[in-house]
Structure 1
Amino acid sequence: MCCLCSYSAMKSWGFGMLDMLGINSAELHVCCFPLQDWLSKFGYLPPPDPVTGQLQTKEALTRAIKAMQKFGGLKETGVLDQATLGLMKTPRCSLPDVSEAEGTMGRRKRSPTPPNKWNKRHLSWRVRTFPKDSALLGRDTVRALMYYALKVWSDIAPLNFHEVAGSDADIQIDFTKADHNDGYPFDGPGGTVAHAFFPGERFTAGDTHFDDDEAWTFRSPDSHGMDLFAVAVHEFGHAIGLVHTSAIESIMRPYYQGPVGDPLKYDLPYEDKVRVWQLYGVRDSVSHTNQPGSSSQTAEPPVLLDLPENRSNILLARDAPDRCTSHFDAVAQIRGEAFFFKGKYFWRLTREKHLVSLRPAQIHRFWRGLPTNLDSVDAVYERPGDHKIVFFKGLKYWVFRDNIVEEGYPRPISDFGLPLEGVDAAFVWLHNDKTYFFKDNRYWRYDDHLHRMDLGYPKDSNLWKGLPSQLDDAMRWSDGSSYFFKGKEYWRVPGSDMEVDVGFPRLIAKDWMLCTEMQEDSPDAEPKNTETRVNVSSSTRCTDVQSAMSECVCPLCLFLIVVRISCYKCLTSW
């Protein structure tokens, strides 16, 4: 049987029907396209009656093709020409096309009703299952891309998305294949690539599924594969209540349009902004008059690092420092996350102060452009205004856009007006958005917006009451306070104050590095000799163990471990 129509259909219609559709009998075997199924699947025809097997009339098919052509931006001929067939074969979203095509088709049984919007503004999300053949994308990269795709919408609408570790998330994200029991089966590579459920009362509301048979990519140098960020932005549009549109420039057009650019810079088409504003209103920091051609003042989102996929790259080297017994060379807040640098390595903490990994990563593998033989860094900070990242080592400094070094670096620190003695610490103070450099017992104030040192500096660091001299580094954290680090301790200075908060100093290892008192007090102790027993039910996921215990992370889930736990039970429900 030909995929286009059955032999019985051809017999009842006559082969003139194929001519009407623009296909002659000699081309029939070449075409082999499930036309009626496709038109029914995406809402242009009612679904076939499983009892009577009633066929569609010529007029109904012609109207359906015209409606599809109109929605796809093609000439409305009603003929299945090459352009129409090509668009039908383009990878696309699984959901039907709900649009002005309804007026042409009349009432459609398959079309979903206009979606509700969320009745709350704080929404949780979680990647429940990851791509199984993740040769191109690691778990951290997938999570980061989901974060940025959601942020595209929250940047302009009063919605706030936060990732959670438990199973109770508003938006559950899965990579799955074929029939996965939600009524929208996937069809292998190409065809339908993803779908999401609209807000509402159903338990699947907001859930988003990606076809794991696709070759998902990110920043791919060629056209191979499906750009995960672009598809995720589209699907999360559905998850917050937007339906498909025929607007050519819209991200909510049902057909895959290829990569949309850097997630750190992507800006929604104005058409999509207006539609989400109609649902939720405009975020306070956004002007609804920001039409095409006008610039947005929204700050750049957090850095998206290209994480190493070769597992050998993240294996702990012999010279890697112990996070629980070390002091740190530099500490910085970058795109809202904390980075602790020691020697050739660094640890990274999320906004919630959760370690991304208990193992350190090598600095030069992430920050491309630093010398491979760099043994340490002196200070790091994120520049206000353009959000570029500045590294200091000795008498030189480097400027990075995200994790790629700018041309022309390194340069001498004399560019800042700093003495040729190096820098101990650097951070941007929330009080005035200016950069403070510390060296020994002195500090300088630099205006990154005007690119000049302020007059009257350096000053005595004793003006910051309660701080030690010769700091290791400092940073501004997301709570608005300034944090200063030296040795194994840190000090907090709240808000616009210049005096250390009560109760400080405190231990870095305990508050930031998730270290136990035993590890702090015994530098030579080996964590692997410590045993902690955890009762794990058959339904407990490894993420539940991680959230329940500050120190235990299942190695078979996240490849991280500092104590021995019975992890095999985690896998029974993974």
Structure 2
Amino acid sequence: MLLIPSKKSFWHQEMFLIGLLIALRESMAAPTPTAEDINRGVDWLTKFGYLPPPNPVTGQLQTQEELSKAIKAMQEFGGLKATGILDEPTLMLMKTPRCSLPDLSHSQALRRRRSAQPLTKWNKRNLSWRVRNFPKESSLGHDTVRALMYYALKVWSDITPLNFHEVAGNNADIQIDFSRADHNDGYPFDGPGGTVAHAFFPGEHHTSGDTHFDDEESWTFRSSDIHGMDLFAVAVHEFGHAIGLTHISDMESIMRPYYQGPVGDPLKYDLPYDDKVRIWQLYGVRESVSPTAKPDISKTEDHPFLPDLPENRSTTQPRKDEPDRCSTHFDAVAQIRGEAFFFKGKYFWRLTRTKHLVSLQPAQIHRFWRGLPLNLDSVDAVYERTTDHKIVFFKGDRYWVFKDNNVEEGYPRPITDFGLPLGGVDAAFSWSLNDKTYFFKDNLFWSYDDKEHRMDEGYPLETILWKGIPVTLDDAMGWSDGATYFFRGKEYWKIVNSNMEAEQGYPQSTAKDWLVCSDMLSDGPGSESTQTGAHSRQGHQDESRSENGYEVCSCTSSAGSLFGTAYNDLLWFLSIIHLFTAALISVL
């Protein structure tokens, strides 16, 4: 319901402004502000909690004494000389870009407190975040914006028990938006300058934790533009609100409401000690963190890349690190939701159930699966669990579990959870024949029971279970035709599950049969492509098939060849016996 102020209300307001103007003219310490300055000053003091809003019903307004007290409270909070009048330094500070949230409630303003602690904090330690929309006209690219959000949150998680992880979807605890003007949250933006951002305190409301930036600001990063607004500095401040901190008057605090310019390199930024103390009072100190320790910047494996210069979103040049699908070997291959995914470096290609390539250009892994490290340079193995259809990513000594595109809380975790040794895996896939998951590393493989969450007895084995495939693999996957496909280098092998042996005519070209590289010729025995590319991991070397010991010799006149074939057949037979023995033990 719209309330129309009465004539009495307007009369009281006019008399109030006249009294304020007289008081200002009586002061000889500063030039007399204009009527416009006075109106803006009163609006500003009301907006940020130093004056209560006028009551249009009763017409009750502040007295001159109350106004003077409000100005003094604002000046003290802002670090100015408390004159009680709208002098030039006060008006200048009021024009400084700042956070939208009030500094004090009315009752706090009357008591002139320096700061006030919020009534709420998060009652959980794992918080999700998501950039729902990005700046529309900024020179900062999407990846740079997301990286800056990551580092701004990391400032707080480095010293508290809080953990932040990026997710996709609409259920993030902290939704990040770049909005303009009135965006229906009670804190409208006002264009360039003025209020630049705000965030909502923790709680049960659907907006709790949400953080909004004014899309009409010129957001910058590592820029020499003195008129720009440093996104990292503002984000650190606003995320302080999102986890429960209010404004404080300390001139050195990141929670000071006024924009103070860039705060330095996000990789090295260290919160002022007073800010640390305030957040520790809410959540405690992160385990193993010294209260006086500087941020540890030596471990950067999980940290997203930040460019030296802002990305230019209008530039659409292809990325230099995009691999060529027709000439590369793949880091990982997986069947996910019935579709095939080929991973290389930071990218992947996707094939539909009918083996139709969705796009000739690869997509970026971290944009599809939100929650993986932004600087992830590759993955080692990927598979979909048959038990719950969740997707598992492996990289080095760690793994992540995803439900659809969203990472589960608590990840990454060490691969020792599976009973695997440290050092990573080369390949992983779930075999539909027995619902077991097989892990491969060098010339070893393990059998894991996802239902029982334990490794089968007797593993690892040194001999491959499936006959006729390489001893070392890049990856493997089952497919909708009922076969299992094993990949190494630029080639693949097909095994029909009931046969346990590679089909005749394999290996074949992965690029030609899977990645729509129809102009490529089949790899001949004497061509360079028969040198099966080694898996792109440290310690692997590029070796020929004969050197790796998995080339099948067609000659039978040599006694040595006969012995080698018989020996391999014996090892294969023993592997089959071991598999069924392990299965029998697990049943008993």
Question: With structure 2 as the length reference, what TM-score do the two structures score?
Answer: 0.56
* Aligned with 1:261 (options 259, 264, 275): 264
Give the corresponding residue for 2:172.
169
Change (3 A) 1:102 1:244: farther
Change (3 A) 1:123 1:430: closer
Cα distance, 1:322 vs. partner? 3.3
Q: How many residues align?
A: 387
Whether contact under 8 Å (1:89, 1:191) holds in the other structure is yes
Cα distance, 1:519 vs. partner? 7.5
Q: Could you say what the CA RMSD is over the residues aligned between the two structures, in angstroms?
A: 4.7
Give the corresponding residue for 1:130.
134
Whether contact under 8 Å (1:329, 1:341) holds in the other structure is no
One-letter amino acid matched to 1:322: D
* Aligned with 2:69 (options 44, 63, 69): 63
Whether contact under 8 Å (1:115, 1:200) holds in the other structure is no
For the pair 1:193 / 2:199, whether they are aligned, the reply is: no
For the pair 1:178 / 2:146, whether they are aligned, the reply is: no
1:527-538 → structure 2 map (5 Å cutoff): none
Cα distance, 1:224 vs. partner? 2.1
Change (3 A) 1:66 1:222: same
Change (3 A) 1:22 1:59: farther
1:137-536 → structure 2 map (5 Å cutoff): 137-290=140-293, 299-300=299-300, 302-306=303-307, 308-315=311-318, 321-323=323-325, 326-327=328-329, 339=345, 349-350=365-366, 479=415, 481-483=423-425, 492=441, 505-507=473-475, 522-523=513-514, 525=516
Whether contact under 8 Å (2:330, 2:474) holds in the other structure is no
Whether contact under 8 Å (1:351, 1:478) holds in the other structure is no
SS at match of 1:210: strand
Whether contact under 8 Å (2:326, 2:512) holds in the other structure is no
Change (3 A) 1:193 1:265: same
For the pair 1:51 / 2:57, whether they are aligned, the reply is: yes
| Consecutive unaligned residues in structure 1, runs of 5 or more | 331-336, 357-365, 367-378, 381-427, 432-475, 528-574
SS at match of 2:34: helix
Mapped partners of 1:89, 1:508: distance in 2: 62
Q: Deviations over 1:328-365 (max 9, x none)?
A: 699xxxxxx994599xx998644996699xxxxxxxxx
Whether contact under 8 Å (1:347, 1:355) holds in the other structure is no
Cα distance, 1:263 vs. partner? 1.0
Say which one has the larger Rg. 2
Mapped partners of 2:463, 2:71: distance in 1: 70
Q: Deviations over 1:441-493 (max 9, x none)?
A: xxxxxxxxxxxxxxxxxxxxxxxxxxxxxxxxxxx9975643559xxxx9547
Give the corresponding residue for 2:568.
none
Question: With structure 1 as the length reference, what TM-score do the two structures score?
Answer: 0.57
* Aligned with 1:105 (options 105, 110, 117): 110
One-letter amino acid matched to 2:303: P
Q: How many percent identity over aligned positions?
A: 55
Give the corresponding residue for 1:38.
44
Cα distance, 1:54 vs. partner? 3.1
Change (3 A) 1:222 1:133: closer
Whether contact under 8 Å (1:172, 1:206) holds in the other structure is yes
Cα distance, 1:314 vs. partner? 3.6
SS at match of 2:279: helix
One-letter amino acid matched to 2:167: V
Cα distance, 1:23 vs. partner? 8.9
Mapped partners of 1:353, 1:11: distance in 2: 58
Mapped partners of 1:355, 1:64: distance in 2: 46
| Consecutive unaligned residues in structure 2, runs of 5 or more | 1-10, 333-342, 349-360, 379-394, 399-411, 416-421, 428-438, 445-458, 466-471, 478-484, 495-508, 519-588
Give the corresponding residue for 2:121.
117
Cα distance, 1:223 vs. partner? 1.3
Change (3 A) 1:51 1:117: same
Q: Deviations over 1:92-124 (max 9, x none)?
A: 11111139x95551499xx99823110111111
Mapped partners of 2:119, 2:464: distance in 1: 51
Mapped partners of 1:200, 1:525: distance in 2: 52
One-letter amino acid matched to 1:91: P
Cα distance, 1:11 vs. partner? 7.1
Whether contact under 8 Å (2:130, 2:174) holds in the other structure is yes
